[in-house]
Amino acid sequence: MLEELRKRRNEFSSICNVYHLLNFMLSIAFPFAKLTPKISEMLFGMENRNIDTRENEILIFLVVVVIFKCRKSSSYLHTFSTIYLYSKLANALLFFRVKPIYGLFYCVVVITLYILVDEPLPPDSEKIRFFNGEELKNTLQEDKSIVWII
């Protein structure tokens, strides 16, 4: 039981980082902005404070696409990355639909965070070795008794 708790703690700590936090925030940006009264009034005006029918359809379509794409995902990290990708695409579309400048700003923020914040390595990354340039060729020629899976 203690072993299982340690495993769960390691899994939880692997998703509690800046990358996942920022992606989660970007994934819920449009619904959060629409459903928060002060932000909604400031960005969308008094008449567009609620999610309209077309926006609701886009969000429901997002849920259907995410469920379809995540059916056979290999891990929870793959599931999260799929959710982040399609949610950010839907948010960009929804922001562009309201005002193109909001959509452009959202896309700039997404691209900036994509460049600045790297995706964390998987929890078992100490078993994985990454090669750059000629390092792979040299390592393969070093010791012929080691079998490498590439």
Residue 148 falls within a domain, yes or no?
A: no
Q: Please count the structural domains in the chain.
A: 1
pTM of the full structure: 0.75
Residue 53 falls within a domain, yes or no?
A: yes
Cα(116)–Cα(113) distance, integer angstroms: 5
- Give 102's pLDDT tier (boundaries 50, 70, 90): very high
Residue 136's CB: how many other CB atoms inside 10 A? 14
Residue 7 falls within a domain, yes or no?
A: yes
Cα(101)–Cα(56) distance, integer angstroms: 21
Residue 147 falls within a domain, yes or no?
A: no
Residue 21 falls within a domain, yes or no?
A: yes
Residue 150 falls within a domain, yes or no?
A: no
Question: What does the pLDDT look like over 56-76, one tens digit per residue?
Answer: 999 999 999 999 988 887 777
Helix pair 76-98, 18-27: axis angle to 10 deg: 40
Residue 105 falls within a domain, yes or no?
A: yes
Cα(133)–Cα(139) distance, integer angstroms: 11
Which whole number is the average pLDDT over 114-138? 75
Domain carrying residue 24: 2-142
Cα(13)–Cα(77) distance, integer angstroms: 12
Question: What does the pLDDT look like over 24-47, one tens digit per residue?
Answer: 999 999 999 999 989 988 888 877
